[in-house]
Amino acid sequence: MTPPGAPRQHISRFRTALAIAAAGGVFAWFVPLVRLVPRAAESGPPPEASVDSVADAYWTGALADHAAKAPAAAEVLDALREDAAAAGERLGVRMGVGRGFVLTLRGEGAVTEVKRDGVGVVIETPAGAIDVVLRTGPVFGNAVRDAAGALQASDFVNSQEFNRVSSALNQRVEVNVLPRLRGLAPGQRVAFVGCVEVASARSVPRPLVLIPIEAREVPPHE
């Protein structure tokens, strides 16, 4: 038999629990214990393209276009001789902050000597002979990456990724271009497009040592 007053106690406990739950809900509304944020709001930038895909796209795209427009060696060397700083401003690509710049130039000439790390080439021009060296040893530095001015450090998650693009491009030079030069002998003719990092206008190396990004032997009858 249910004792008298039991239903009223039941209702009273119910109201108490409801009040506690409501108070807790109101409190938590103003002082949330957790915050659930939709995944989209926290998503960062899209995943970076792989270093190899960036290098491939640059090699066949921006760099190839840049090579097609490269000035003649005579124009570049004359400009450097006249005023190296002005030549850097007009013909070079500057990346970041510093005195250095990257030059790209095209030429055709005769092989004068073949050394372990480079091939000497003389280019005959109306103003006289120009000597350059096409590097055939291991390729280092950022000349190839920076030549076209198309890749920026800010496009990568950190500078290490940016540097790996340089390594990937240098490797493409070693695999795709240098083998065409290693079999050359003095007297043979070669056509090329090459790039070089100049550390400062005050210290332009002579002869220029170019990293070839395009090269082919020119047959004698051509």
* Binding stretches for other proteins (CB under 8 A): 13-14, 17-18, 20-22, 24-25, 28-30, 32-36, 44-45, 95-100, 138, 140-142, 152-154, 157-160, 162-163, 167, 199-200, 202-203
Distance separating alpha carbons of residues 63 and 151, to the nearest angstrom: 10
In the bound complex, what is the minimum distance in angstroms from residue 212's beta carbon to other proteins?
A: 18
Does residue 147 contact residue 102 with C-beta atoms inside 8 Å?
yes
Name which of 64 and 95 has its Cβ closer to other proteins: 95
User: Residue 124, Cα to own-chain centre: how many angstroms?
Assistant: 34
In the bound complex, what is the minimum distance in angstroms from residue 159's beta carbon to other proteins?
A: 6
Distance separating alpha carbons of residues 12 and 100, to the nearest angstrom: 84
In the bound complex, what is the minimum distance in angstroms from residue 190's beta carbon to other proteins?
A: 24
In the bound complex, what is the minimum distance in angstroms from residue 123's beta carbon to other proteins?
A: 26
Residue with tokens 């800010």: 154
Name which of 3 and 32 has its Cβ closer to other proteins: 32
Q: How many Cα atoms sit within 13 Å of 177 on the Cβ side?
A: 27
Using DSSP's 3-state secondary structure scheme, residue 144 falls into: helix
Name which of 36 and 185 has its Cβ closer to other proteins: 36
Element (H, E) at 10: helix 6-30
Name which of 186 and 205 has its Cβ closer to other proteins: 205
